[in-house]
Structure 1
């Protein structure tokens, strides 16, 4: 379904002085590499005696969750899950079941237990913000994994044991240590210093006494044994929602849309709702946001023999919301590039700055997830400086009311200097995208705080 974009009224942009709008976006840069556990590979050490006892007690309630093509019943992806109590509800990750959640005409789910029994999976609920899902299967648990009202209290350094089916080789257990709550992701995760291998996504991580601490979800690519768990309380909340619903949704895309719209409201308010911090770049003041969820990095090409100098500042969220293998969203990113030269002269410097401005990517028209870019360019002036501005918006084809916004600006007040800035807001409502653009362009300044 192709979505139309509502027109931009001049009255919406008094500070931008923009007369129109557009459909386009650019993927926000990732400040750190983190992938789902279903994509990772690491060797598992031999289990300890405690791990052996836990596995022996828990193995009957651990499942492999498979995604199959309806046509031919061939395997598309695999993950893990675990039965709760003595019922037939299974907890897993949303990213494990995302294919048949969004495209049930093409994909189906299947469970396989440690004895080789298998059956169909019925999806009951999803929580895309915390990467969780609940499915129903045709067998009951033994009661090993419980989700009581009062969850276990963890202490740093405490041993945890992660279960699942790594690399589709067979069910296994790995052990490591709990090392606190990670706040750099937008939603809290637990740091597990231990291996979580491909195929273990959605499996449980438990204490030595068998209490569920969290659900396996991801690991860092740029570190050793730095893995992450979804805290058990989010799984507890999702199970309570399942208990209250009369029947599962027939179509999960509206459910995902509703959750993404809720996320973007919180994200925009948290990251753009308070005044941005201003940093000096030459004679300019540029807005950035440094917080637990958003980190900034800088670099420069300054050398004695270079004909021009470039300083870069980039700020990006360290996490995104996984929707499908082709779509991650719910991010804000900011970038500034300060170019200047004392040797090129005005004409050659103008060519350099213009080439840098034109080199930006706003997407294409062949994207199956988003509409093609439609951009408006205008020369504008805020309180302290004139700017060339391009505003682009793209609509999500399958999630009504969500857009990707990209705002690109360049200073036009000096023939031998150019400040080029960009704001990307992915997966936001139209109103919040326009709000972010106004905030950003008003915050750019020359000669100190406006």
Structure 2
């Protein structure tokens, strides 16, 4: 065994050594002339933005940003500046430009809904990036160039293509078929002639080169607000909280304009919301278990609002699950259904973001289906008047079937949370319509 292990290690080292000359001959792809020209002109006006711990000045998070015109204002993502906005006693901002100059960062404004922020630094831009009232018109397939500091490795430019507006996001985002890596958030994406098309914001982890940009029109609107504001907000938690309330009001208005649709989990009918923002999926256990079958319909919003590294809100998800006995007796099936119903997490009392959940339980009927219902609510500690609601129900009309529903609504007012819970309690039924 020792000889075999030594032989394996020797072969590995030999193969690695043999491969070295070939690696020396590999040439990296040369950037296009357009990318080279753009980077050369733009590099003086892009910066890396860092959140540092005040105590020790150690780096906590990094992103990118870009200076507007000849001003000392830079645009970035809200999520790049979120620690400074929410915990200014703990974090402070710093910028580093492409020449290595460092300086302080002052947060001026945030737009949580579109993930944008404006900061002021102690140097001015060279005039490359501008956001005029008349914005560029993009055509699908058009080349765009994204700039930033990926993975804190150094400033870079990447090429990709514009591929339309994403309808599944609650607010418009542009699809960019090109690489955007961590650290490039907040950097600009520009056309071949240098016009700002959008701001790098995110990418899909389950695909290749599926990235997203905040449209530049939202940057224009935020810069106008900065120009009009008389003083910098003293407490950005109040600003963030107000914007979250605006979002939940918009979310509720859209949901109420979208009629409920019904899915059949025979013999039940279950309510869901399906729209561009809310998608539904189904799955089943395929009756692999000999004792019971399992069918499920799950619906959820495709996006949520980023508040902090630990908190995303302004979201709704719906899950309907039907358990049916195949050869379990009533008592054994009741135990199975009870375990499924009780195996639900509501959060704990030690979470510093929320209060401990308060729950109430009742046996109710809507005239069509008797149910056991549990309603839980918890409040946001930093954002008064915002709550998370969880509604759990289980049908009680059969000893051999259990329809179980969970509806989670995050970041809504108390009144709106109760309204959503009431809608789902009133709509579930057993009869199947032809």
TM-score by length of 2: 0.92
Higher RCO (CA-CA < 8 Å; seq separation 6+):
1
- Cα distance per residue 1:191-220 (max 9 Å; x no partner): 000001121100000000000000000000
Q: Specify the alignment match of 1:88 in structure 2.
A: 72
- Cα distance per residue 1:257-287 (max 9 Å; x no partner): 0000010111122124443101111111101
- Per the TM alignment, residue 92 of structure 1 is displaced from its structure 2 partner at its CA by 0.1
Whole-Å separation in 2 of the counterparts to 1:342 and 1:220? 40
3-state SS of 1:225 partner: coil
1:45 touches 1:174 (CA, 8 Å); kept in 2?
Answer: no
- Per the TM alignment, residue 442 of structure 1 is displaced from its structure 2 partner at its CA by 0.7
- Per the TM alignment, residue 417 of structure 1 is displaced from its structure 2 partner at its CA by 0.7
1:254 touches 1:399 (CA, 8 Å); kept in 2?
Answer: yes
Q: Specify the alignment match of 2:44 in structure 1.
A: 60
Q: Specify the alignment match of 2:183 in structure 1.
A: 199
Counterpart pick for 1:181 among 152, 155, 165: 165
3-state SS of 2:157 partner: strand
Whole-Å separation in 1 of the counterparts to 2:102 and 2:124? 12
Q: Specify the alignment match of 2:406 in structure 1.
A: 422
The 5 A counterparts of 1:342-381 are: 342-381=326-365
Larger Rg: 2
- Per the TM alignment, residue 155 of structure 1 is displaced from its structure 2 partner at its CA by 0.2
2:180 touches 2:202 (CA, 8 Å); kept in 1?
Answer: yes
Whole-Å separation in 2 of the counterparts to 1:163 and 1:266? 33
Whole-Å separation in 1 of the counterparts to 2:177 and 2:195? 18
2:287 touches 2:294 (CA, 8 Å); kept in 1?
Answer: no
Q: Specify the alignment match of 1:337 in structure 2.
A: 321
3-state SS of 1:434 partner: helix
- Structure 1: stretches of 5+ with no match in the other structure: 1-43
- Determine whether 1:77 maps to 2:57: no
- Determine whether 1:323 maps to 2:335: no
What root-mean-square deviation, in Å, do the aligned CA atoms of Structure 1 and Structure 2 show? 1.3
The 5 A counterparts of 1:154-233 are: 154-233=138-217
- Cα distance per residue 1:139-182 (max 9 Å; x no partner): 11111100000100000000000001111111110010000001
Counterpart pick for 2:122 among 134, 138, 151: 138
- Cα distance per residue 1:217-272 (max 9 Å; x no partner): 00000000110000000111110110110011010001000000010111122124
The count of aligned residue pairs is: 407
Whole-Å separation in 2 of the counterparts to 1:171 and 1:324? 25
- Per the TM alignment, residue 415 of structure 1 is displaced from its structure 2 partner at its CA by 0.9
- Determine whether 1:254 maps to 2:238: yes
Most deviating of 174-183 and 337-346: 337-346
1:284 touches 1:446 (CA, 8 Å); kept in 2?
Answer: yes
3-state SS of 1:379 partner: strand
2:293 touches 2:326 (CA, 8 Å); kept in 1?
Answer: no
- Cα distance per residue 1:316-371 (max 9 Å; x no partner): 11111111001111100000000111311211111111111111111111111011
2:258 touches 2:275 (CA, 8 Å); kept in 1?
Answer: no
Whole-Å separation in 2 of the counterparts to 1:46 and 1:416? 67
